[in-house]
A and B are shown apart, each in its own frame.
Chain A
Amino acid sequence: MNFITIDKKDWAPGVDQSRKTYRVYGPVEDKNGCQIKPLAPDMQPKMDAPVTVMSAKSVLFPQTEKILTATLDESKEDHHVMKPVETDDMPRVVLGIRPYDAKAVHLVKLNFDNPDYKDPYWCAAYDATTFVGLGVTRPGPCDFSTAVGSGPFSEEGLDVLMADMDDKYLAKILTEKGEKWAAACGFATAADPKESQVLFDVLKKEAEKQIQADVNTDKLAQKTILDLYDAPFWDEVAFSCINCGTCTYVCPTCWCFDIQDETRHNTAVRFRNWDTCMSSLFTHHASGHNPRGTKVQRVRQRFMHKLKYFLDKYDQGIMCVGCGRCVASCPVNIDIREVCNRMNDYETTK
């Protein structure tokens, strides 16, 4: 583990130098608020940005992604034979990712890279990506990351964790990928490891103190799926929901997708697109049968998946990193923190 300091006046030149090796992603301000996007050659990441509206999940899992293609031209020998679109192996770096979003990548990995199947597109993007995080010194009002196994200075999923020290960044290099990125930027000013760690610890403690959320998950594992599924509060939780799906799109840990084909002239392309369990079509059978045909069933599915099914399936905590985006973005003020507490505190009377 080594620490370096990066003078802020060296930051932009270093980022530019790294572009020879990396495609650079970072927070940028646009008409839709702050977003993590690929940075054009003349753009620098907005490192002091507040919480980005969308997480960094699209870096590895684009909203729409080509996965296969085929020619439909019957004069070609390989017509109607689907072929994989080449995976994007170019090294990329995500600058200024917040620690909870990096932890989310770790959780999503359980889905896309499992002992039975590896998703070649997600895995190639993951292998090619370096995550350079920036500790959160002023957590927002919806941030409850400390309650769910992450936190403002969590290191999980990161290759580098930086702390903003006014005129410089103090950076903790966590992995070999992180070392390579620092070298590509020319960042090499060593910092004293002991002093640096003390500084990180102080900043972490101060940031964590600012998070006031009282969200408890400690009793979720002891409950049975059926008890929580049959709990009486789901109608109330779902009452105001308009099934817009915003919560799922802004969530860094939601990974559901659809697969669709499109044709243009004689070329067929198979895409995958983000999908949402809030849509009634998500589970609608061709026969007309729909196991989750009502709103309350779909709202229950979302919370049960994140807070119980995932927990039981992977034994890696809940499928939430406490970024608070779904709380902030929900147009009808459904709050996962309240739902989590209700589930955690629920005692069946059976």
Chain B
Amino acid sequence: MENPYLPYPVRIDDIEVATEDKSLKTFTFVFVNPEDEEKFAYKAGQFAELSIPGVGEIPIGIASSPVEKGFVKFTVFRTGVVTTHLHNMKKGDLMGIRGPLGNWYPWDKLENKNVVIIGGGFAFTTLRSSIVYMLDPANRKKFKNIDVVYGARSPGMLLYREELFDWEKRDDINMHITVDGTDDPDWKYHTGFVPQVVEDNAPVADEDTYAIVCGPPIMIKFTQPALTKLGYQPHQIIMSLENRMKCGIGMCGRCNIGKELVCKDGPVFTLEEINQTPKEY
């Protein structure tokens, strides 16, 4: 019997400080046993449990993309016991990864559609996975227009800066980068909160357009009406939720929203589905 609690052993291959306040680091892991990498076949939008023996586990969205091979990346915010311990670890250290867990963005349904990616803060990690997946030469033709609205508190808090500015230069993706505020006179992108930037810049919906939203609960709450104003129907708004999780496999009973378990039935739901559940997220 497969043991779903058993993490795959991994080694930290690289650690990159992701933001200027050093609260976010991007960890690159390689699997100790190459066959485990095959078993860890994931799709953009899924998450995993990062597991530090003796310390604990935390659920984190996968930041790398299925089209990137040989490693797996996670961007982790230092906020609790496990994340603080992880932030103090070094290259070469051993730990575990359990997963992949949860569902993913509905890639089959999104084919031949316009996709608008909306993210705020460090929840942008699974969206990076999605963008890299869609921009991969083997996949780009499967999607029509791609728009990205991504907001951070300040320019120094933007994640994946080099990639962001590379994507900006491409003509097959429309980037709308924003920060809540900045004193930087050279800042040439948007200033303001994500919902307003969405309302002002995201494409008006037709039946071929879907929005993927991932961010803190407050951002999700205010982005929904902005999308509704642009004509998006509840089934066209796809969200990734975050509830506190432990087991990640739907057994510990912690992360439910109504009868749905965020870790197993989610974390990806359409607004149409969410509208049928209590507002417990």
Residues in A lying within 8 Å of B, measured CB to CB:
67-68, 70, 72, 79-84, 111-112, 114, 116-120, 123-124, 224-226, 229, 255-263, 268, 270, 272, 275, 277, 282-287, 289, 291-292, 297, 301, 304-305, 308-310, 312-313
Contact = CB atoms under 8 A, between A and B. Distances in A.
A82 B96 contact: yes
Nearest to A230: B278
Nearest to B281: A291
Contacts of B56: 259-261
A225 B259 contact: yes
B254 interface: yes
B253 A256 contact: yes
Interface in B27-57: 32, 51-57
Name the interface size band of chain B: 35 or more
CB-CB nearest 7 A-B residue pairs: A268-B54, A256-B253, A80-B94, A70-B53, A263-B54, A309-B259, A268-B53
Contact of B276 (A226, A286, A292): A226
Nearest to B96: A82
28 contacts: A81-B9, A81-B96, A116-B264, A117-B249, A120-B4, A120-B5, A123-B1, A225-B258, A225-B259, A226-B278, A256-B253, A261-B54, A261-B56, A261-B57, A263-B54, A268-B54, A282-B254, A283-B255, A283-B280, A285-B242, A285-B243, A286-B58, A287-B79, A289-B216, A289-B217, A291-B243, A304-B278, A305-B253
Contact of A257 (B79, B95, B252): B252
B270 interface: no
A309 B1 contact: no
Tell me the dominant secondary structure on chain A's binding face.
mixed
A162 to B, nearest CB: 32
A256 B54 contact: no
Interface string B235-256: 0000000111011011111111
B3 interface: yes
B57 A259 contact: yes
Contacts of A82: 6-7, 9, 51, 53, 96
Nearest to B51: A82
A116 B100 CA distance: 13
Nearest to A283: B244
B57 to A, nearest CB: 7
The residue in B2, B9, B216 that gathers the most chain A C-beta atoms within 10 A of its C-beta is B9
Contacts of A272: 252
